[in-house]
Amino acid sequence: MSTGELVIEGLRAGIPGREILRGVTLTVRSGEVHAVMGPNGSGKSTLAHVLMGRPGYEVLDGSVTLDGIDLLSLPTWQRARAGLFLAMQHPVEVPGVTLIESLTAARPGVPAEEIGATDAGIGERLHEEARRIGFDERFLDRPLNVDLSGGERKRNETLQMGVLRPRFAVLDEIDSGLDVDALGAVGRRVEEATAEWGLGVLAITHFRRLLDVLHPDVVHVLSEGRVVATGGSQLAEIVDRTGYAAYV
């Protein structure tokens, strides 16, 4: 069971000439679920991208550490090796690379010279995870996300998280595009991971429905690049009822 913390402090970041995140501070501990809600354009995906080190974004100030390791100074693949995982809001198609190839390369602790070698153990875990969330096993040998529907891609992201077992997962609208049954299965899988190996979760979402399954310990509302409210799960219910108007 992993223990540790992902600490975001005073994070200011954006694209050249425009500050989008204007001082974000929050700490996720192992086993905790933090929800981040907020209106369109408030900077939620930017936060996810800056945490993972997507090119094109600049960090202006602040720090992000995972168990004291300074993530912002590392390239994306080393952030992943340190235990950070991102499920993207819009997962991209990667023609020519199968899921098993990408997971074999991504699994933690693999020496660089072994990247590309196929790990038989991963195949078994893939099938087990696929069954847990109802992901069609015929997709496992296909190129990553190619010709998958929006909901299938979201399940695919969840599957990768289950196989890789990261220490912290940032889930950017993992619920968008999922039907109600898939939403339940994905939410339960993530919730179980918090107990199975102490996964810490930063779940970006607009909808309470995900949070009914994935019980958040803490809910944050992001508006114009700042955390403007933090509370328990009742905050998600208030937002669900009244919208964001009170917070912007």
12 binds ligand ADP (CB under 6 A): no
Q: Cα angle at 157 between 3 and 173, to 5 degrees?
A: 85
Phi-psi region of 89 (alpha: psi -120 to 50; beta: other; left: phi over 0): alpha
Contacts (CB under 6 A) with ligand ADP, residues 39-58: 40-46, 56
The site string for Mg ion over 63-92 (x = CB under 5 A, - otherwise) reads --------------------------x---
205 binds ligand ADP (CB under 6 A): no
Segment interacting with ligand ADP, rule: CB under 6 A, options 22-30, 35-43, 103-111, 189-197 = 35-43
Amino acid at 49: H
38 binds ligand ADP (CB under 6 A): yes
205 binds Mg ion (CB under 5 A): no
The correct pick among 30, 45, 194, 205 for binding Mg ion (CB under 5 A) is 45
Pick 49 or 165: Cβ nearer Mg ion: 49
Pick 41 or 121: Cβ nearer ligand ADP: 41
Pick 143 or 177: Cβ nearer ligand ADP: 177
Contacts with ligand ADP by CB under 6 A lie at 15, 20, 38, 40-46, 56
